[in-house]
Amino acid sequence: MRRGVLTLAVVMAAACGTSSPAERPDGPPQPIGVAPPDAEISPEGSPLELAPAPQPLFEASGVRRVQSALAARGIETPATGRYDGRTQQSMLEFQRREGLAATGMPDLLTLERLGLDAKELYR
């Protein structure tokens, strides 16, 4: 019986075109997002095609309003107009204090708890 199971596994692997990592001529699989050593590099020097940078959700004035609302609730947040790491940490602190999902991002419920109208902030 064991020989039959082993034979079936070998036949299935051959039919699927798979082999064990030891039998692969190119070695173990690469982690996602890492180009294999022999990958062709684009003229820009990148082996991967990257998506364009995401657009900000708020204008700088909207970010300042979020930062001011956090500061008004006792969470030290400089009003830089940029949603930087310090602002994200302040947002996390506020969300945890309020028992909200601690994502560090200004979701609708968090903005409501800050006393802000999302429609006025989002583009």
In a domain, 45, yes or no: no
Continuous H helices in 17-107: 60-72, 85-98
Handedness of CA 76, 82, 85, 91 (dihedral sign): positive
Continuous H helices in 1-123: 2-16, 60-72, 85-98, 108-113, 118-121
Which CATH number does the domain housing residue 81 bear?
1.10.101
In a domain, 67, yes or no: yes
- Residues spanned by the domain of 110: 60-121
Pair of tokens at residue 87: 């602002």
In a domain, 109, yes or no: yes
Q: How many domains does the chain have?
A: 1
In a domain, 16, yes or no: no
In a domain, 37, yes or no: no
One digit per residue, the tens of pLDDT, for the chain of length 123 reads 445 444 444 444 444 444 444 444 555 554 555 555 565 655 565 555 555 666 667 788 899 999 999 999 999 999 999 999 999 999 999 999 999 999 999 999 999 999 999 888 875
Residues forming beta bridges with residue 122, ordered by sequence position: 58
